[in-house]
Structure 1
Amino acid sequence: MSQTTAASNLKETAGYSIEEGNAASRCAYNWAKKTFATRAGKPGEPAQDLEGGFSNEVRFGNERLGIGSDGIGTKIEVAERVDRYDTLGYDLIAMVADDLIVAGFIPTNLSNIIDVNTLNYEVVDELMRGLHDAAQFSQIAVTGGEIAELGNRIGGYPGARMNFNWCSTAVGVLHPSLERPLSGANVRAGQAVVALRSPSFRSNGYSLARRVLTKAFGENWHIAPYTGADADVMGPTWGDVMLAPSLIFAPGVTAVLDAGLPLHAAAHITGGGVADNFKRVLKNGVGAELDNLFEPLPAMAQLAELGGISPTDAYLYWNMGNGMLLVTDADKAEAVAAELTAKGYDAQVAGRIIAEPTITLRVGAGELRYDI
Structure 2
Amino acid sequence: MSASNTPDTGYSIEEGNNASRNAYAWAKKTFTTRAGLPGEPARGLDGGFSNEIRFGQERLGISSDGIGTKIELAERLDRYDTLGYDLVAMTADDLIAAGFVPTNLSNIIDVNTLSYSVVDELMRGLHDACQFSKIAITGGEIAELGSRIGGYPGARMNFNWASTAIGVLHPSLAQPLSGAAAQPGDAVVALQSPSFRSNGYSLARKTLQRLFGDKWHEQAYDGPDAAQYPTWGDALLAPSLIYSPAVAALLDAGQPLRGAAHITGGGVADNFQRVLQNGLGAELDNLFPPLPAMQRLCEIGGIEAETAYLYWNMGNGMLLVVAPEAADAVVQQLTALGYAAQVAGRLMAEAGVTLRVAAGELRYG
Q: So what's the TM-score if we normalise by structure 1? A: 0.97
Aligned counterpart, 2:165: 170
Aligned counterpart, 1:232: 227
Instruction: Say if 2:140 is the partner of 1:181.
Output: no
1:165-211 deviations in whole A, cap 9, x for unaligned? 00000000001110110011101101000000000000000001000
State the percentage of identical aligned residues: 74
Q: 1:325 aligns with which of 309, 319, 324?
A: 319
Kindly report which structure 2 residues correspond to 1:288-307, keeping only aligned pairs within 5 A, or say none.
Answer: 288-307=282-301
Q: 1:9 aligns with which of 5, 8, 20?
A: 5
Cα drift, residue 307 of structure 1 = 2.1
Instruction: Say if 2:121 is the partner of 1:126.
Output: yes
8 Å CA contact 2:4–2:15 kept in 1: the answer is no
Q: Give 5+ residue unaligned stretches, structure 1.
A: none
Q: 2:245 aligns with which of 234, 245, 251?
A: 251
Aligned partner of residue 95 in structure 2, secondary structure: helix
Instruction: Say if 2:340 is the partner of 1:361.
Output: no
1:344-370 deviations in whole A, cap 9, x for unaligned? 000000000000001000000001011
Cα drift, residue 9 of structure 1 = 3.3
Q: Distance in 1 between matches of 2:114 and 2:42?
A: 39
Q: Distance in 2 between matches of 1:338 and 1:229?
A: 28
1:204-225 deviations in whole A, cap 9, x for unaligned? 0000100000111111000100
Q: Distance in 2 between matches of 1:178 and 1:321?
A: 29
Aligned counterpart, 1:271: 265
8 Å CA contact 2:4–2:13 kept in 1: the answer is no
The residue identity in structure 1 corresponding to 2:341 is: A
Q: 1:106 aligns with which of 96, 101, 104?
A: 101
Cα drift, residue 245 of structure 1 = 0.2
8 Å CA contact 1:225–1:238 kept in 2: the answer is yes
Q: Distance in 2 between matches of 1:355 and 1:182?
A: 20
Q: 1:192 aligns with which of 187, 190, 205?
A: 187
Aligned counterpart, 1:153: 148
1:124-152 deviations in whole A, cap 9, x for unaligned? 00000000000000000000000000000
Q: 2:131 aligns with which of 136, 139, 151?
A: 136
Kindly report which structure 2 residues correspond to 1:4-43, keeping only aligned pairs within 5 A, or say none.
Answer: 7-10=3-6, 12-43=7-38
Cα drift, residue 50 of structure 1 = 1.1
The residue identity in structure 1 corresponding to 2:269 is: A
Q: 1:283 aligns with which of 273, 277, 281?
A: 277
Q: Distance in 2 between matches of 1:274 and 1:61?
A: 36
8 Å CA contact 1:194–1:327 kept in 2: the answer is yes
8 Å CA contact 2:193–2:317 kept in 1: the answer is yes
Cα drift, residue 227 of structure 1 = 1.2
8 Å CA contact 1:49–1:183 kept in 2: the answer is no
Q: Distance in 2 between matches of 1:174 and 1:298?
A: 36
Aligned partner of residue 264 in structure 1, secondary structure: strand
Aligned partner of residue 68 in structure 2, secondary structure: coil
1:213-255 deviations in whole A, cap 9, x for unaligned? 011111100010011111223x100110111000000000011
Instruction: Say if 2:255 is the partner of 1:261.
Output: yes
8 Å CA contact 2:255–2:330 kept in 1: the answer is yes
Aligned partner of residue 123 in structure 1, secondary structure: helix
The residue identity in structure 1 corresponding to 2:157 is: M
Q: Distance in 1 between matches of 2:321 and 2:46?
A: 18
Aligned counterpart, 2:337: 343
Cα drift, residue 306 of structure 1 = 2.2
The residue identity in structure 2 corresponding to 1:186 is: A
Aligned counterpart, 2:307: 313
Aligned partner of residue 127 in structure 2, secondary structure: helix
Aligned counterpart, 1:48: 43
The residue identity in structure 1 corresponding to 2:48 is: G
8 Å CA contact 1:120–1:162 kept in 2: the answer is yes
Q: Give 5+ residue unaligned stretches, structure 2.
A: none
8 Å CA contact 1:46–1:56 kept in 2: the answer is yes
Large movers: runs of 4+ above 3 Å: none
Cα drift, residue 8 of structure 1 = 3.7
Q: Distance in 1 between matches of 2:11 and 2:168?
A: 34
The CA RMSD measured in Å over matched residues stands at 0.8
Q: Distance in 1 between matches of 2:116 and 2:134?
A: 26
Q: Distance in 2 between matches of 1:47 and 1:231?
A: 47
Q: Distance in 1 between matches of 2:231 and 2:73?
A: 12
Aligned partner of residue 315 in structure 1, secondary structure: helix
Q: 1:308 to 1:9 in 2, by over 3 A?
A: farther
Aligned partner of residue 68 in structure 1, secondary structure: strand
Instruction: Say if 2:83 is the partner of 1:83.
Output: no
8 Å CA contact 1:110–1:141 kept in 2: the answer is yes
